Amino acid sequence: MGMTITEKIMAFNSGRSSVVPGQLVWANVHTVMTMDYLGKQCFSAFESLSAEKKLFDKERVICVSDHLVPPPTEQFATMLNEWRETVRKYDIPYFYDLGRQGIAHQLMVEQGHVLPGKVSIGTDSHANTYGAVGAMGNAIGVTDAAIAMATGKCWFRVPESVKFVVRGEWQPWVMAKDLSLHIMGMMHWNGHLIYKALEFAGPAIESLGIAGRMTLCNMTVDLGAKNGIIAPDDTTIEFLRPVQKGEWEMLQSDADAHYDAIYEVDVTNVGPTISLPDKLDDVVPVEKLIGTKFNKAFVGTCTNGRTEDFAIMASILKDKQIHRNVNMVCIPASQAVYLECIQKGYFETLIKAGAAIETPSCGPCAGIHTGVAGDGDIILSAGNRNMKGRMGSKNAKIYLTSPAVVAASAIRGEITDPRSENW
Amino acid sequence: MAIITGKAWVAKNYVMSFDMILQKYWTSPINPAENAKWVMAGVSEEFNRENAFIEAGYTFIIAGHNFAGGGKSIEHCVTGLIGAGIQAVFATSFARLQFRNAINYGLPFITSKDINLSCETGDVLEYDSDSGTIKNLSNGKVFSSVPVAPFVAEVAASGGLMNFIRQKMADGTIHELH
């Protein structure tokens, strides 16, 4: 019996030639990531493990300030100072702090800390994003992070795999986010894909760039899945070559690998898609909501804060004005994205159109800062979660969609199909 | 631990991690006694008061699909329950992140089919971890559950994964884990 790519990663990184779903393994971890608000706890737990207090490899413990920077309150400023002191004590070379910051998952991929065929873990749920380059990306808690920091190991139950084969032609203005939300509607939020490894394959996936692949893998956590993964190909190699940190393995699933289920999706039939407030899987095509008014627009996060996302927005908003009743906040996912969007003129276009650009962070997605929701807000967001209170007030409504829909809709101040005009 | 007995609280709807621990406590230190003070505050209005869940005195939770879902890596959900005196959670399914955290802290998260349909809040239950049998002593119904994996039992017997690893680091057997 053949193995899926996830099974191979679990096997080869735990010194085995094969594994089966349900098996428990201790796998070697390539990198372990933690960030500002949980990081100090990870190091404290790590220090309590042995008197030696020795990291397994300080180049493979990645530290990021993303949720709390720049600090909006004294409390967070103090937390950040304690976090910095902790990281400095261990002389961590890859510490992405304010000034060199970004959202952890973006940096892990962008800076080459995640590699095909390897296991990377992080103390934030969207660590599933790492599957975009053929890695096993997994979210874990403080305990697992502390143990991995000391031992370079983490325990895993080998997940059952489910495959999505995506064919057809991407329609104009349709993005990976639309496919992601479409699949959310098919399979349900935290539905029967709980604990599965989700593998995306097929010609419509191969044609996606790394940004789109990251969006797709990122949101698998909200399907309840253990990981999302796309087999590495030439696109992956081209992306990683300039930033690689270590050897990698170009693993692929075997032709006779077992899947609990295989779903076929024709992306030709996927249009711009929106998730209704409060529940991620209440998903409708944009046509159903045309004319719905909103007062805030947000594009950023580990899901949709990349150069490609701002490029499509700039192509829609070029020489246009955002409606006066809409406040738009855009947050690039990293300093590298920020700089590239400045150099390519995307942010000039967005600023001229009336958008506010914030410095890279998780921003209001986790309800912390730079544009949180107040009572009565109706937000059109390209983020990843829309439960009550996610962005601040419980009396705000969050519609989730793609950056293209946010941009087109912001012009009219009401939900608009980006296919309705030749931008 | 072979047989434990306690009073159950039955969740009416999905129990989500971000409701178990409200957003303002996500940055709090891990400390079972402290985390317990506001645990479940967003799950039900009756627990939205300091110490409410502790004072309610339940020692088992019964829930349906995807207990503690919603994709939060924070361990406060599990430490909060431990601090509140919860001995085990029985649900038809669990979300993976908190299932993992529960294993790491040695709190039994026990999967049992249909258990949420035949129990009421306040019922007294008896759980036999050797056989996996759950008896509702208040109404006489008996449920089977998915047996606890040997690794999970070993971690629980060590007092959690941190202790399990400490022992292996101390006796030099850590490299044998694979």
User: By three-state DSSP, how is residue A138 classified?
Assistant: strand
Rounded Cα distance between A3 and A17, Å, is: 10
In this predicted model, what pLDDT tens digit does every residue of A340-396 receive, in sequence order? 999 999 999 999 999 999 999 999 998 999 999 999 999 999 999 999 999 999 999
CB contact under 8 A, B161 and A15: no
To the nearest whole Å, the CA of A14 is away from the closest chain B CA by 5
Tally Cβ neighbours within 10 Å of residue A394.
Answer: 12
Residue type, B161: L
The pLDDT of residue A189 is above 80: no
CB contact under 8 A, A38 and B166: no
The pLDDT of residue A258 is above 70: yes
On whether any CB of chain B is under 8 Å from the CB of A2, the answer is no
Maximal CA-CA distance, chain B? 50
Rounded Cα distance between A337 and B25, Å, is: 31
Size of interface A-B (CB pairs under 8 A): 101
Rounded Cα distance between A62 and A317, Å, is: 36
Q: Which of B14, B72, B93 sits opposite A125 (nearest CB)?
A: B72
A418 Cβ contact partners less than 8 Å away, ≥ 6 residues apart: A173, A272, A286, A316, A404, A405, A407, A408
**For chain A, what is the mean pLDDT?**
97
Of B75, B128, B70, B66, the C-alpha closest to B100 is B75
Sign of CA dihedral A178, A181, A186, A192: positive
- Residue B90 confidence class, pLDDT cut points 50, 70, 90: very high
Q: Determine which of A191-195, A357-361, B7-11 has the lowest per-residue pLDDT on average.
A: A191-195
Contacts of B149 in chain A (CB under 8 A): 24
Q: What percent of chain A has pLDDT over 90?
A: 96
Of A255, A262, A261, the C-alpha closest to A2 is A255
The pLDDT of residue A239 is above 80: yes
- Paired with A136 in beta bridges are A119
The pLDDT of residue B1 is above 70: no
Rounded Cα distance between A24 and A157, Å, is: 4
Contacts of A155 in chain B (CB under 8 A): 151, 161, 177
To the nearest whole Å, the CA of A306 is away from the closest chain B CA by 22
Q: Which of A79, A141, A150 sits opposite B101 (nearest CB)?
A: A141
The pLDDT of residue A117 is above 90: yes
On whether any CB of chain B is under 8 Å from the CB of A243, the answer is no
Contacts of B105 in chain A (CB under 8 A): 143
Q: What is the mean pLDDT of residues A156-176?
A: 97
Rounded Cα distance between A308 and A306, Å, is: 5
CB contact under 8 A, B165 and A147: yes
Rounded Cα distance between A44 and A34, Å, is: 13
User: By three-state DSSP, how is residue A74 classified?
Assistant: helix
The ipTM is 0.92
Please work out, in degrees rounded to the nearest 5, the angle formed at the alpha carbon of residue A35 by the alpha carbons of B97 and A277. Answer: 60
- Residue B12 confidence class, pLDDT cut points 50, 70, 90: confident
On whether any CB of chain B is under 8 Å from the CB of A151, the answer is yes
Q: Which residue of B has its CA nearest to A67?
A: B27
Strand A227-229 relative to strand B88-91, pairing: unpaired
A382 within 8 A of A304, measured Cβ to Cβ: yes
In this predicted model, what pLDDT tens digit does every residue of A55-104 receive, in sequence order? 999 999 999 999 999 999 999 999 999 999 999 999 999 999 999 999 99
What is the pLDDT, as a whole number, of residue B27? Answer: 86
To the nearest whole Å, the CA of B125 is away from the closest chain A CA by 27
Q: Which residue of A has its CA nearest to B96?
A: A195
What is the pLDDT, as a whole number, of residue A123? Answer: 97
User: By three-state DSSP, how is residue A98 classified?
Assistant: coil
Q: Which of A24, A143, A194 sits opposite B162 (nearest CB)?
A: A143
Please work out, in degrees rounded to the nearest 5, the angle formed at the alpha carbon of residue A128 by the alpha carbons of A337 and B67. Answer: 135
On whether any CB of chain B is under 8 Å from the CB of A49, the answer is yes
Q: A371 is written with which tokens? A: 């544009």
Contacts of B174 in chain A (CB under 8 A): 151
Q: A6 is written with which tokens? A: 């996830």
